[in-house]
Structure 1
Amino acid sequence: MFKPRQSGFTLVELMVGLTLALLLTLGIANIYLQTRQTFRSQTALARMTEDGKYALATLQRMIYQAGFQNTANMTAAAATAFPAGYGMTAGAFIKGTSTSVDLRFLGDTEGNMVTCAQDTSGNADYPTLKLNQQYAYRLSFQNNQLSCGTLNTAGTTVTDSQVLADNIIDFKLTYGVDSDGDRLADSYTDSPTNWANVYAVRACMVVRSSDDKITVSSSGKTYLNCDFPNHAQQSVDDSDGHLYRTFSTTLYLRNKTN
């Protein structure tokens, strides 16, 4: 009787097939991991960009508001509109250090002035500031955060503090001083001797991603620090997996009239 011949894969063929399948699986896994890593990097970079831009935009608006005199006080001399208080001399509306800045301005009935703190108590129009009175705030950097709070009349205590951005590892403010009377900044310092001659503020911050497993270990990684004016390259540890981004801008005191 004829018996049909049985056929199948040999052991060698099975081993070759398994090897090819394994290589294909490894290739797909590698593509997946690379795609996932790219997505994480782009997400982290977008988050850092949003945080940095928001922090700088808030700092910019508050500095632009410094020294604002509303319609009721527009013709008053600066020393009259801003008497001594909040840690500032009469007529002054800005004072600070390399890591914080104090600002004051008058409210605007048309709602053009806003707060950067959580001073909701007694302010029915929060976050706009419509009362015809002085408002004073301190924006400061500490514990890797940029915060804003209301400043008391003595200029010593801050309340209603609100975090504007976190994961900030470097922050610096310098102040543009006019030395020849043309109302333009001739030099920058973090400790002016006469705040009446300050006409601009340079701000810099370095934001770091919250995720520390984004970049692979490698040597030679750097970011631009906040050392004015050249922003030197700052080295990063080889095993550091964070992303870094530096934000820098120059802001002018648009309500400076003297």
Structure 2
Amino acid sequence: MMKKHSQGFSLVEVMVGLAIGMLGMIVVMQVLSLTQASNRTTTSGADAQQVGALALYSLERDVRQAGFGFNVPGFLGCELKGFDKNRGEAFDFTFTPVVITQIGADEPDIVEINYGSSAKLAVPTNLTQSMSDTTSTYRVANRFGFTVGDILVGAESGKKCGISQVTGLPAAPDSNAIVHASVASGRYNPAGGLSPAADYTYSTNGKLYNIGPNPVSNVYTVTDRGLEVLSNFTGEIQLVAEGVVDMQADYGVDTNNDNAVDTYLTDPDTNGDGTITDVEWGKVLSIRLGIVARSRNREAGCDATTTLPSWVGGTFNAVEKDSDWQCYRYRVFETTSVLRNMVWRPL
């Protein structure tokens, strides 16, 4: 009787099995690698998409309100000065709905948006008595809509516009008086009455604007952190959206007085004399905005982007300030926002 011997795999069979297994692992790893790369690309694009959408929404929300209380012809473009006692600092901005500051072709623009918050009539009233000094009580033709705490803007041709705050509304026989005393409740009333004191005393040719208790003057800038907004009234800086690397803007200008935008310009000085007048500011009826957001993750191949992002207003040249700009993915967002308060402004 013959003995049966148990037989296993030969060395060749084992080696062939190992080779097949290793090939299988390589295929699986390659598939996983491609999947992860695809996921990174998708995630990077989605990240930039969210950042850009948030930034544009924040800007549009302010632009829709721009000009409320600032839109009455006569003093648009006036240099507006104020003093905040809480932070002990003077501040200034332009008395107009939107100001675009062009730093240069390779730099992001700066966009300043201004509007009031008065719940009542946002129309200026005439001064009926000249101020003897900067602490003098305002005497006005109509005090309707003014309440304690409201922020005021004094304006007169040939003079700077001055910010103050209502601290008292006397009863008869002083029912036309508006007090702006330097007391605790008058945050924007410095000791001199108006700041700087030498710039202001308004006569009966002047007007007084009521821009409400919580007016807004927001300055949007692009920094290393992303899109930031500075409040001129409080001095606070907030990060709006991280990852925004450029912002460009143009004015929509009505050149033929038909209350419709005819062209887009980087400067509303349409006659080119170097001064933007009240009439020229009044022709700005919209702004065109373009922003570009960058993905958070750097692509290994540094070939994610080969051409600079662009929009209807041109190329986002600030993107290439970073030497590795081609290693990232970008999303461009653009919109045209009508300045409704300028279209509906009183004539």
Alignment TM-score, normalising by the size of structure 2? 0.56
> Which of 248, 256, 266 matches 1:190?
266
CA distance 1:229–1:83, shift in 2 (3 Å): closer
Query: Does 1:87 find its partner at 2:93?
Result: yes
TM-superposed deviation, 1:231 = 7.7
User: C-alpha separation between the residues in 1 aligned to 2:7 and 2:284?
Assistant: 92
Q: Which moved more, 1:31-40 or 1:219-228?
A: 219-228
CA contact (8 A) 2:245 2:292 kept: yes
CA contact (8 A) 2:302 2:328 kept: no
Taking the TM superposition and a 5 Å limit, the aligned residue runs for 1:26-45 are: 26-45=26-45
2:12 match: 12
TM-superposed deviation, 1:54 = 0.7
1:186-229 CA distance string (max 9 Å, x none): 2222222232221111111111111103x645497335324715
> SS state of the match for residue 221, structure 2?
strand
CA distance 1:47–1:34, shift in 2 (3 Å): same
1:93 alignment partner AA: P
CA contact (8 A) 2:77 2:281 kept: no
> SS state of the match for residue 43, structure 1?
helix
2:85 match: none
2:117 match: 107
CA RMSD of aligned residues (A): 3.5
1:141-186 CA distance string (max 9 Å, x none): 233621111115xxxxx82011112222322111111111112222
> SS state of the match for residue 93, structure 2?
coil
CA contact (8 A) 1:103 1:136 kept: yes
1:116 match: none
Count of residues in correspondence between the two structures: 226
TM-superposed deviation, 1:59 = 0.4
User: C-alpha separation between the residues in 2 aligned to 1:237 and 1:13?
Assistant: 55
Q: Mind listing any 5+ residue stretches in structure 1 that lack a counterpart?
A: 111-121, 123-129, 153-157
Q: Larger relative CO (CA 8 A, sep 6+): 1 or 2?
A: 2
Query: Does 1:136 find its partner at 2:217?
Result: yes
CA contact (8 A) 1:174 1:203 kept: yes
CA contact (8 A) 1:201 1:252 kept: yes
User: C-alpha separation between the residues in 2 aligned to 1:133 and 1:168?
Assistant: 28
1:96 alignment partner AA: I
2:306 match: 221
Taking the TM superposition and a 5 Å limit, the aligned residue runs for 1:1-258 are: 2-69=2-69, 77=72, 79=74, 85=80, 86-89=92-95, 92-98=96-102, 99-107=109-117, 109=119, 132-143=213-224, 145-152=226-233, 159-193=235-269, 194-213=280-299, 216-218=301-303, 221-226=306-311, 228-229=313-314, 240-256=326-342, 257=345
User: C-alpha separation between the residues in 2 aligned to 1:102 and 1:217?
Assistant: 35
User: C-alpha separation between the residues in 2 aligned to 1:82 and 1:176?
Assistant: 16
Structure number with bigger Rg: 2
CA distance 1:104–1:210, shift in 2 (3 Å): same
The share of aligned pairs that are identical, in percent, is: 24
Alignment TM-score, normalising by the size of structure 1? 0.73
User: C-alpha separation between the residues in 2 aligned to 1:133 and 1:220?
Assistant: 44
User: C-alpha separation between the residues in 1 aligned to 2:72 and 2:4?
Assistant: 112
1:222-241 CA distance string (max 9 Å, x none): 35324715889x99989943
1:90-149 CA distance string (max 9 Å, x none): xx2222213112222111559xxxxxxxxxxx9xxxxxxx95453211112233621111
User: C-alpha separation between the residues in 1 aligned to 2:304 and 2:100?
Assistant: 38
Q: Mind listing any 5+ residue stretches in structure 2 that lack a counterpart?
A: 81-91, 103-108, 121-184, 186-210, 270-279
